[in-house]
Amino acid sequence: MPLITEKWQSDKLNKRFEIARQIYNSLLGHELSIYHELQKSDEYAEVQSQIDSILKQDQELRDSAALKKLFQERGVLLKNAGLTEYGMMNEMKNFYKHFNDNIGSSVAVHCIASQVWTAFDKLFYGDGKKVRFKRRGDIRSLKGGAITGKSGGTEIMFKGTYIEWKGLVLRIKLDPDNAYESDMLQRHVKYCRIVKEPGKNKDHWYVQLMLEGIPAVKYDPETGEVLHSTGRGNVGIVVGTQLIACVSENDITIREMADKVQDIEKQKAAIQRKMDRSRRTLNPNNYNENGTIKKGAHKWIKSKRYILLQKELAYVQHQQADVRKRQHTEMANEIIAMGDRFITKDIQWGEYARKKTETTVNEKTGQPKSKKSYGKVIANKAPAMLTGIINQKLVSRGLAGIHKVPTDVKINQFNHITGEYTKDDPKVKWLVMPDGKRIYKRIYQAFLLQHVKEDDSLDIEGLARDYDKFLTMHDELMCRLQAEGKKYPGFDPKEWSEPTVQGQSA
């Protein structure tokens, strides 16, 4: 919810967020020095080298009991060195007390120390390569603590119509005509989070209230009907880099994700070029003669114009993020209305976004193949965000989350009529079935996923039973899209009725 802030209140909030950044960096540097000392010990180095050697092997060794034992041994060493979430929270008392007038124990311990641990947790147990210090402006949110049995939280406290934080009173912009908002504000508030978002001319401040229980039901204020209700039955979902196809018992949809999100790469590049020229003009001693930055630490001078360009760049990116999230939320509500059990492939989008490192040669031309990946389009469409929002909405309604089929289960290569697996050709978009029917490949794959059981096997009888109805819905969808003149990236409904278009026999 938006906060109504005056200039001095916004300045005070910016000051506290900057103090939080300095506390974060201080604790991070302290824990990093402990970790570097631990790495020098023979015992830790031996355990880590064994872990690294196993991780370089195949998947069977990665899931072995030996690796789990090594992780446990490393965990004990980290715990003894104090490199745990509790250890970092305990260490925080030595860093925040000098700023107690602005940052109290709840924010310091439960928010800042927890963020530091999250960075190390990704390094120890995730795919993180290194921990990084936060630059000025990188702290975008701070949350207070929670007390069992008390509503409103601690330090950053909700008081009905305003937020109170260390003597700072911030009014909340409420909508008295919003029944959903009024209902939710009657719930038990566990804690509050203050969020800073870039605006065109100034920063905007919001408060997020973390409530207990499940969300209230939304009703149409005019008709009184329930909004965003949940359907019944299985729904197969195929998520691509730009399109999403869904198949349920009574409906088929194919849509472009976040179609209102424009490619802002050219706009961003223009702003970044202006920033680079400004930076080079004011800091000539930090560059070599060939234009590269000199090695080592440097002091950078920023002009007023440079700072304005930084804010403009942040605002452009924030606008896109807002449009993307709003469209994903709307699409998630539409998809949830199709059923109550959702199945999709378990895709690691980071692998698709990452630029290839190996150089491969085209056998026909003898030229090196491009190392480009899907990084920009994935950044624009954010398919993982969409599936995450769907999963969050399902769990909040008491349903099971999205069932993700492992990548080693080759469902997308299966044909239920012949019972055979055919290697998938990514260049082919249309399938020619044994009965002569032409089906868009992603929609057929969604149909297969719709009939996946809990053990990741296919319901062959269900596929045969529902195939005729699926064909009818598929053909109706193609006719409707053709009549509407719809066309999506990589998908043209006109190709459905064009036999000259290449198809893959399924």
Q: What is the pLDDT of residues 471-500, one digit of tens each?
A: 999 988 999 888 888 888 888 888 887 544
Question: Residue 377: is its pLDDT beyond 70?
Answer: yes
What pLDDT score does 503 carry?
47
Instruction: Pick 162 or 266 by higher pLDDT.
Output: 162
Task: Spell out a b/e string for 461-472, using b for 16 or more CB atoms within 10 Å of the CB, else e.
Answer: eebeebbeebee
* 3-class DSSP assignment, residue 122: helix
DSSP structural state of residue 367: P
Beta-bridge mates of residue 361: 368
Tell me how long the chain is: 506
d(CA 217, CA 65): 46
| Better pLDDT: 294 or 227 | 294
Q: Report the DSSP beta bridge partners of residue 163.
A: 158, 170
Confidence of residue 504 (pLDDT cuts 50, 70, 90): low
SS3 (DSSP) at 291 = coil
Parallel/antiparallel/unpaired status of strands 234-239 and 341-345: parallel
Report residue 502's pLDDT band, with 50, 70 and 90 as the boundaries. very low
CB 180 within 8 A of CB 218: yes
Greater pLDDT, 360 or 292: 292
Distances in whole angstroms, Cα of residue 271 to Cα of each of 198, 322, 372 = 16, 20, 23
pLDDT band at 14 (very low <50, low <70, confident <90, very high): very high
- Average pLDDT for residues 313-329, to the nearest whole number? 89
Long-range contacts of residues 129-136, Cβ cutoff 8 Å, at least 24 apart:
131/28, 131/32, 133/25, 133/28, 133/29, 134/21, 134/24, 134/25, 136/18, 136/21
Span 93-145, pLDDT tens digits: 889 888 988 998 899 999 999 999 999 998 888 777 888 999 888 899 999 88
Q: Does an H or E element contain 207, and which?
A: strand 204-211
Q: Is the pLDDT of residue 200 over 60?
A: yes
pLDDT band at 201 (very low <50, low <70, confident <90, very high): confident
Asked whether the predicted pLDDT for residue 441 surpasses 60, the reply is yes
pLDDT reported for residue 280 = 93
pLDDT band at 352 (very low <50, low <70, confident <90, very high): low
Per-residue pLDDT tens over the stretch 132-161: 999 888 899 999 888 877 788 888 898 888
**What's the chain's average pLDDT?**
85
As a whole number of angstroms, the distance between CA 198 and CA 396 comes to: 29
Q: Which two tokens stand for residue 421?
A: 């697996």
**Percent of the chain residues topping a pLDDT of 70:** 93
Mean pLDDT of 51-75: 75
Q: In angstroms, rounded to a whole number, what is the distance separating the alpha carbons of residues 151 and 468?
A: 55
Mean pLDDT of 227-252: 88
Indicate if the pLDDT at residue 64 is higher than 80. no
pLDDT above 50 (res 202):
yes
Q: What is the pLDDT of residue 206?
A: 93
pLDDT tens, residue by residue, 385-404: 999 999 988 888 888 888 88
Residue 277 has pLDDT above 90, yes or no: yes
DSSP-derived letter for residue 111 is I
Instruction: Return the SS3 of 254.
Output: strand
Q: In the prediction, which pLDDT does 328 show?
A: 92
pLDDT at 369 over 70: no
